[in-house]
Amino acid sequence: MIFAILLSIPVVVGLFMIMHSLIAVDFVNPEVSNTKVAELVQPDEEIKLDTTTKKPEKVEEPEEPPPELEMAQISLDMDMDIANLAPSANINIEISSSGMSSGDGEYLPIVKVAPIYPRRAQTRGISGYCIVSYTVTKSGSIRDPQAVDCEPAGVFERASVKAATKFKYKPRVVDGEPIEVAGVQNKFTYELEN
């Protein structure tokens, strides 16, 4: 340890001497050539205002207000063949006669969605039908859809129930109040085009 201290003292003193000699050196400024830089002068410009342009005349307010626009009539008829996403399938959607009548307060279908033809049935050339029963709620949506009669069994139930859940109805109105309608049925017919 003593040997290391004795060796480090001359090294430290030597480093201080080198740093002092570097600082004490008088640097000479390099010669700077006298080159002129071009002066950029932007001339003053006068801003001219164009006072000859006329302002548009103020439009007078009409004496009577414009007539009110009538509400546009929207057709709720849908072509179900357009909504079919299966490439070579023909699906017919029919509403059974259970509970439907032409009274003003009866429920009416607003949105009917065609089911997607099951791929397995389509590739195997299987045709058939499925009847789905459900409840039309007070808001016009569908609740508790169930496949009640399908031929062949186990093929079209899932696609039919999934399509029926997307149906929308105008609810049945009795004494000015919407009511639920249970037991509404819809028949989905699955046919392949030849």
Q: Quick check: is 133 in a domain?
A: yes
What local confidence, expressed as pLDDT, does residue 96 receive?
45
Q: Quick check: is 131 in a domain?
A: yes
Residues found in the chain: 194
Q: Quick check: is 63 in a domain?
A: no
Over pLDDT 90: what percentage of the chain? 23
Q: Quick check: is 148 in a domain?
A: yes
Over pLDDT 70: what percentage of the chain? 71
Number of folded domains in the chain? 1
pLDDT (tens digit per residue) in 61-87: 767 766 666 655 555 455 444 444 444
Q: Which residues face 173 on adjacent strands?
A: 178
Q: Quick check: is 35 in a domain?
A: no
Instruction: Determine the Cα–Cα distance for residues 147 and 141; give it in Å rounded to an integer.
Output: 17
Give the mean pLDDT of 165-175: 89
Domain span holding position 154: 96-192
The vertex-118 CA angle with 116 and 122, nearest 5°, equals: 115
Q: Quick check: is 90 in a domain?
A: no
Contact (CB, 8 A) for 186 and 98: no
- Here the CATH number for the domain that contains residue 176 is 3.30.2420.10
Q: Quick check: is 24 in a domain?
A: no
Contact (CB, 8 A) for 185 and 98: yes
Say if pTM beats, i.e. exceeds, 0.85: no
What local confidence, expressed as pLDDT, does residue 15 receive?
94
pLDDT (tens digit per residue) in 26-50: 666 656 666 676 777 777 777 777 7
The single-letter DSSP state of residue 166 is T
Q: Quick check: is 39 in a domain?
A: no
More confident residue, 23 or 158: 158
